[in-house]
Amino acid sequence: MTPTKLQAMHDALAKDEDGFWLDQARSRLDWIEEPNEAGDWSFDANDFHIRWFADGKLNLSANCIDRHLDTRGGQTAIVFEGDEPGEGYELSYRDLHAEVCRFANVLKSRGVAKGDRVTIYMPMIPEAAFAMLACARIGAVHSVVFGGFSPDSLAGRIRDCESSVLVTADGGRRGGKSIPLKANADTALESCPDVHSVILVRRTGDDVPVVEGRDVWWHDARESVDADCPPEPMAAEDPLFILYTSGSTGKPKGVLHTTGGYLLWVTFTYRLLFGPEEGQDVAEDLFWCTADVGWITGHSYVVYGPLSNGARTVMFDGVPNYPDPGRFWETSHRLGVSVFYTAPTAIRALMREGDDWVTQHDRSQLRLLGTVGEPINPEAWKWYSTVVGEGRCPVVDTWWQTETGGTMIAPVPGAVETKPGSATRPLPGVRPQLVDAEGGELDGAAEGNLCLTASWPGQMRTVYGDHERFFQTYFSTYPGRYFTGDGCRRDEDGYYWITGRVDDVINVSGHRMGTAEVESALVAHPNVAEAAVVGMPHEIKGQGIYAYVTLNADAAESDELREELRQWVRKEIGPIATPDALQFAPALPKTRSGKIMRRILRKIAEGQPDQVGDVSTLADPAVVEDLKKNALV
Ligand code: 6R9
């Protein structure tokens, strides 16, 4: 897009915000009943509400599939690439239509109706997308749980949203290793008595137990249902999905997105950032977003954004370094990927392996490179740009969150100049504000906490089952504004540089982990009296997990116990939560009122023990000396 065109968008918005969004909604989506209302929202406590296009009716799966059938029925919709290079196949929009309809009919045959919740615990295979789109087709609300989560984490999420149906697979294969999805699901379901049906997809062919009456094989069930299923008309504000994400306190929150606003936001941002010039066909590109559908990036930019636009999207069920660190570039070339979107953690890991793994593969078909999930350090940005992109491909660093539905701050290619390490400027309709600790607005070049002062169509609408928590978490810290939880610097050119989380959330390899979750897993171990968890700098992961553990009086510190505790957390939550460092501490630094002073723990974990600052308010300042002496960094 040219700078003039982007400016014209900003101008149109400034002149008539509602008109702009209604235009976008009507032109980019297919409606059963077109909306006449755009945004209707207030972030104020006494009138708190968020609605977009509330009088419109549409169906998301019809937008992602049916509307393309006339013009693109035979065109590829999904390119599947398995764990082994070349293990895969392509599906056309027509194929996708039939599979999604069948999946929807199988769900219906198990009693799933509009508004019911369906949990999806799957590998990165097309059937995961079928299940998501099938839910959307019949108005069921999906909750995808990342396949790397433990049985306990899965069970908690199933119970929280009261799902009675689970979609899973016999197993998964990642980096040559097996993931026992069905076994995990069976363990989880021991504590989920309300789940009456499991739709089981065959992926590995592993021999798995099948519970009579509860479990049905997808490949059997699909034979006995119709390949057509009419899409359910949905109000724009009807719930579309729940996705659990970690926050600074308590259990993961069920972020709820609704149909019309979310779909417009992912359709709009996909086209703006990753599509070709206006007027050209989106299907000229092959788009590869490497995220798993278990995360928001997989929802918005593997499945919904690309398919809504009629694009060709890759689903990859492998890892960046299997069978070798050239996998991304080998596969990109073999499949003909032109737009590639991944996380900084993967870029940093591959950068370490040396340039040969990249340069031995032809990358001339690549035209654009994107990143998401965490701040990208300028060194990794430059390597991505010059070595992978041969200096030809724009690097689009996209800042956004599960809560925002789609990208918020990013350089629109062709229209916004990039700076290595900056997500650059807000997209049309995004209104960032930097505030100080008291909520005072900071002008010009400044560093502070990042808020958004206006709603946008893709904004989450509630925390499932706890609307009060939604308000408290995001709108009470700085009244009248949405608080992102991120710190941010704005430079003299008005460019935004996200500095990372300012709350008790750790960003491990682009995945959010709440310190409270890891702490509660640790204290569940019989030998642990108390635990405090903070982030530490990590060369590849961006941030690692540093745990301080106080043992019960009858337990002895040992390397074996340290390893046991690390494995314990891994089993309780999942591999991504495994502490990178675990320090035994005879006591934790607490104020006289018993509050743990995390600032001190953070400084020690960051390798800056001399910067712990004032410790005079501690109940026992001597504790800090021991922590410093035994620090692991
Ligand atoms: C999409 C996604 C959200 C948090 C967010 C921020 C960090 C994401 C970023 C970034 C700097 C970027 N984050 N993208 N930080 N630059 N381009 O990752 O959602 O899993 O909810 O994480 O990730 O800290 O607040 P989610």
The verdict on whether residue 112 carries a ligand-binding annotation is: no
Mean pLDDT score of the chain, rounded to an integer? 96
Tell me the β-bridge partners of 167.
120, 199
Residue 579, preceding bond cis, omega within 30 degrees?
A: no
Nearest residue (CA) to ligand 1, atom 19? 401
Distance (Å) from CA 261 to ligand 1 centroid: 20
Ligand 1 neighbours, Cβ below 6 Å, are: 245, 295-297, 372-375, 397-402, 423, 484-486, 498, 500-501, 507, 510, 512
Q: What is the best residue among 345, 374, 483 to mutate for testing ligand 1's pocket, by most ligand atoms within 8 Å of CB? A: 374
Confidence class of residue 247 from pLDDT cuts 50, 70 and 90? confident
Q: What is the pLDDT of residue 619?
A: 87
Strands (E) in 407-527, as ranges, are 432-435, 441-442, 446-452, 462-463, 482-490, 496-501, 505-508, 511-514
Q: Which residues, including other chains, have CB under 8 Å from residue 114's CB and lie 6 or more apart?
A: 138, 139, 140, 232, 234
Q: Evaluate if residue 631 carries a pLDDT over 90.
A: yes
CA distance linking residue 570 with residue 270, whole number of Å: 35
Q: In this prediction, what percent of the chain has a pLDDT beyond 70?
A: 100
Give the number of the atom of ligand 1 that is nearest the alpha carbon of residue 376: 16
Tell me the β-bridge partners of 500.
487
Confidence class of residue 594 from pLDDT cuts 50, 70 and 90? confident
**Residues composing the chain:** 633
Q: What is the pLDDT of residue 90?
A: 98
Q: Evaluate if residue 225 carries a pLDDT over 90.
A: yes
CA distance linking residue 94 with residue 102, whole number of Å: 13
Distance (Å) from CA 469 to ligand 1 centroid: 21
Confidence class of residue 487 from pLDDT cuts 50, 70 and 90? very high
Residue type, position 547, single letter: A
Average pLDDT over residues 559-574: 97
Q: What is the pLDDT of residue 250?
A: 79
Over residues 12-64, the pLDDT tens digits come to 999 999 999 999 999 999 999 999 999 999 999 999 999 999 999 999 999 99
Q: Which residues, including other chains, have CB under 8 Å from residue 463's CB and lie 6 or more apart?
A: 253, 254, 255, 256, 469, 470, 473
Over residues 390-437, the pLDDT tens digits come to 999 999 999 999 999 999 999 999 999 999 999 999 999 999 999 999
The verdict on whether residue 501 carries a ligand-binding annotation is: yes
Confidence class of residue 592 from pLDDT cuts 50, 70 and 90? confident
Q: In this prediction, what percent of the chain has a pLDDT beyond 90?
A: 95
Spatial contact of 401 and 451, defined as CB atoms under 8 Å apart? no
Over residues 311-358, the pLDDT tens digits come to 999 999 999 999 999 999 999 999 999 999 999 999 999 999 999 999
Provide DSSP, 265-295. HHHHHHHHHHS-STTS-GGGSEEEE---TTS
- Other Cβ atoms within 10 Å of 592 Cβ, number: 9
CA distance linking residue 421 with residue 562, whole number of Å: 36
Distance (Å) from CA 257 to ligand 1 centroid: 17
Q: Evaluate if residue 550 carries a pLDDT over 90.
A: yes
> Can you read off the two tokens belonging to residue 213?
């009456």
CA distance linking residue 628 with residue 167, whole number of Å: 48
Q: What is the pLDDT of residue 249?
A: 78
The verdict on whether residue 615 carries a ligand-binding annotation is: no
The verdict on whether residue 72 carries a ligand-binding annotation is: no
What are the percentages of helix, strand and coil residues in the chain, rounded to 5?
Answer: 35, 25, 40
CA distance linking residue 161 with residue 117, whole number of Å: 7
Q: What is the pLDDT of residue 19?
A: 98
Give the number of the atom of ligand 1 that is nearest the alpha carbon of residue 512: 20
- Other Cβ atoms within 10 Å of 67 Cβ, number: 16
Distance (Å) from CA 507 to ligand 1 centroid: 8
Spatial contact of 138 and 60, defined as CB atoms under 8 Å apart? no
Distance (Å) from CA 501 to ligand 1 centroid: 9
Residue with tokens 């934790």: 588
Over residues 261-301, the pLDDT tens digits come to 999 999 999 999 999 998 999 999 999 999 999 999 999 99
Nearest residue (CA) to ligand 1, atom 8? 373
Q: What is the pLDDT of residue 5?
A: 96
